Amino acid sequence: MIALIVARSKNNVIGKDGHIPWQIEGEKKQFKELTTGNIVIMGRKTYEEIGRPLPNRKTIVVSNSKSFEGENLTTAKSVKEALQLAKGEFGLKTGGNIFFAGGYSIYKEALPLVDAMYITEVDLTIPDGDTFFPDFNSDDFEKTPGEEGGSEIKFLRTCYKRRHPTFL
């Protein structure tokens, strides 16, 4: 399965000044549960915000300006190259899933390729956000609401499964 995972505000914001504009207890739980033991593809800025390879996952960073290499960590020049690495020597020889984890340009390029999207809908409006989740045709997906959570800031995890799977 090829999927993406993202948290977005009510006005579709995923970032502000290079950071996620909220800290919500329990909101990252789904990310860890879904991606552990799998492959995560992310852009350089997203990787640099995290600051380290993700434990128990293979991480591919898409970057033209820097190279990241290490145990379970490599760099690709494009989303296409990252997918080739994920499906080849870096990972999927033994099975597993691929998750795109941001930022905007990675999501935009990945949207037509994904079988599923795991979107955490954060009950906030960020008026001065500067990075947004790309628009997509919701008619292409079957939407299934999931777990609700959050004490001060509420969120809803929603799964979007593509009605007609992509064939790569």
Query: For residue range 48-66, what is the model confidence (pLDDT) as tens digits?
Result: 999 898 999 999 999 999 9
pLDDT in tens, 107-134: 999 999 999 999 999 999 999 999 999 9
- Residue 120 β-bridge partners: 7, 157
Residue 95: other Cβ atoms inside 10 A: 7
159, 146 contact by CB (below 8 A): yes
168 pLDDT more than 80: no
- C-alpha dihedral, 18 to 21 to 24 to 28, nearest 10°: -30
The neighbour count for residue 136, using CB atoms within 10 Å, is: 15
**What pLDDT, on a 0 to 100 scale, did the predictor assign at position 149?**
87
Tokens of 86: 């994920």
The pTM of the full predicted model, rounded to 2 decimals, is: 0.91
Share of the chain above pLDDT 70, in %: 93
Write down the pLDDT at residue 92.
52
Q: Which residue has the tokens 């906030």?
A: 124
**Average of pLDDT values for 125-154?**
93
Q: Is the model more confident about 135 or about 25?
A: 135
- Using alpha carbons, select from 134, 35, 45 the residue that is nearest to residue 86: 35
**Is residue 93 predicted with pLDDT exceeding 60?**
no
Predicted pLDDT at 21:
92
CA angle, 159 as apex, 107 and 41 as ends, to 5°?
30
Q: Which residue do the tokens 């915000």 mark?
A: 49
Residue with tokens 């033991």: 37
